[in-house]
Amino acid sequence: MADFQSIIDDIHQQIIAQKNYGEVAGYIPELSDIDPEKFGVSLITVNGVCYQAGDSQDLFSLQSIVKVLLLSMAYTRLGGRLWQRVGVEPSGTPFNSLGTLEYDQGIPRNPFSNAGAIVVCDVLLDLYENPRQALLDMVRRLADDDTIQYDPAVAASEKAEGYRNVALANFVRSLGNIHNDVDAVLALYFDCCSIAINTEQLCRLFLVFANNGQTLDEHYQLLNVSQTKRMNAIMLTCGFYDEAGDFAYQVGLPGKSGVGGGIVAVLPGHFSIAVWSPRLNEKGNSFRGLQFLEQFTTKTQLSIF
């Protein structure tokens, strides 16, 4: 195995020296208070060895990364029937796009767009008596960490300003693909996005996707091997919206980003890696996060390709 610690330290130091790149997400007011220079990295292997650099213990907002977990909750209960409500095709559109919804008759192209994740939240309201608790239980169990919490201030801030998501949800509802009260669906979506996490916890959480759907201690099988393959395929093709092709090209790992500045990626059978830096590029993905991962897979020659 490569000397992960020195490679991570080298890339971290090199990237941190560069200034003037990207902007912190401002459309969720609470997120704009974060120190834009924060930069943390964690990597955990399927043997349980952990490597860290920088602000790996600082909490940030999970945001769209939670869409992978929401999808897992719906997929494990419904299996392939879920694909009647949301597709698995890359959209080539921004995360908050209304773009193809009318043409697609309210079936979002994939579950990692906002529209897709909002439909998944509608599904979860039907499947789980208390989906917020079920999500938190799952996150804490996968990350083996009972301290992980929702951040009510971030959720309230997005609820107050989330006009685009309100429009998306109402539009999908008008096309018949949301069945519950729109406000209840959106409240669930905003709450789920608000989970506070650090890169080490995020790595632990996503190790399941590098480990055939199972926690390292083998006590919890979230997904079977085939379902894990499919989740990783959706992350690879849809995890970065209209930058998914570029991420596959530059980095070559299944992964997911969020506007909190986090990115998590996995090399199945080997490791999960999480990077957090709040400044985003114009596609809403962490600027330094992308740079870091591109250099990491290039230097180590470890990617799915």
Q: Closest distance between ligand GLN and the C-beta of residue 63, in Å?
A: 3
Residue 286 interacts with ligand GLN (CB under 6 A): yes or no: no
Measured CA to CA, the distance from residue 165 to residue 175 in angstroms comes to: 15
284, 249, 234: which is closest to 89 by C-alpha? 234
**150 marked as part of a ligand binding site:** no
Terminal-to-terminal C-alpha distance of the chain: 17
Give the one residue of 42, 45, 52, 64 binding ligand GLN; rule: CB under 6 A.
64
Instruction: Name the residue nearer to ligand GLN (CB basis): 53 or 251.
Output: 251
Q: Which of 286, 194, 204 is nearest to 247 (CA)?
A: 286
- Residue closer to ligand GLN (CB basis): 96 or 295: 96
Q: Is 64 annotated as a binding residue?
A: yes
Whether 252 and 104 have beta carbons less than 8 Å apart is answered as no
C-beta separation of 26 from 228 below 8 A: no
Identity at 131, one-letter amino acid code: P
Q: Which of 284, 293, 295, 296 binds ligand GLN (CB under 6 A)?
A: 284
Q: How far is the CB of 287 from ligand GLN (least distance, A)?
A: 14
Binding of ligand GLN at residue 198 (CB under 6 A)?
no
Contact between 228 and ligand GLN by CB under 6 A: the answer reads no
54 part of the interface to ligand GLN, by CB under 6 A: no
CA distance 98 to 23: 23
> Applying CB under 6 A, does 188 fall inside the site for ligand GLN?
no
Ordered alpha helix ranges (H), 162-305:
163-174, 182-193, 199-210, 225-238, 244-250, 287-300
The answer to whether the CB of 220 falls within 8 A of the CB of 72 is: no
Task: Please report how close the Cβ of residue 30 comes to ligand GLN at its closest, in angstroms.
Answer: 11
128 is in an annotated binding site: no
CB 51 within 8 A of CB 5: yes
**114 labelled ligand-binding:** yes
Closest CA to 118 of 37, 213, 182, 31: 182
Among 45, 56, 91, 96, binds ligand GLN (CB under 6 A): 96
Site residues (CB under 6 A) for ligand GLN, limited to 9-38: none
258 in contact with ligand GLN (CB under 6 A): yes
CA distance 279 to 101: 29
Q: Do strands 271-276 and 262-267 pair parallel, antiparallel, or not at all (unpaired)?
A: antiparallel
Pair of tokens at residue 113: 């767009």
Which CB, 143 or 193, lies closer to ligand GLN?
193
User: Where in 119-158 is the site for ligand GLN (CB under 6 A)?
Assistant: 158
Reduce the DSSP state of residue 16 to 3 states and report it: helix
Cβ distance to ligand GLN smaller for residue 8 or 28: 28
Query: What secondary structure does DSSP assign to 174-189, as a single string?
Result: HTT---S-HHHHHHHH
Q: Is 104 in the site for ligand GLN (CB under 6 A)?
A: no
Q: Say if residue 129 carries a ligand binding annotation.
A: no
The reply, when asked if residue 259 is annotated as ligand binding, is: yes
- Shortest distance, CB of residue 140 to ligand GLN, whole angstroms? 21
232 in a known ligand binding site: no
Give the residues lining the site for ligand GLN (CB under 6 A).
63-64, 95-96, 114, 158, 165, 193, 258-259, 284
Give the annotated binding-site residues for substrate: 64, 114, 158, 165, 189, 241, 259
Q: Which residues are annotated as a binding site?
A: 64, 114, 158, 165, 189, 241, 259
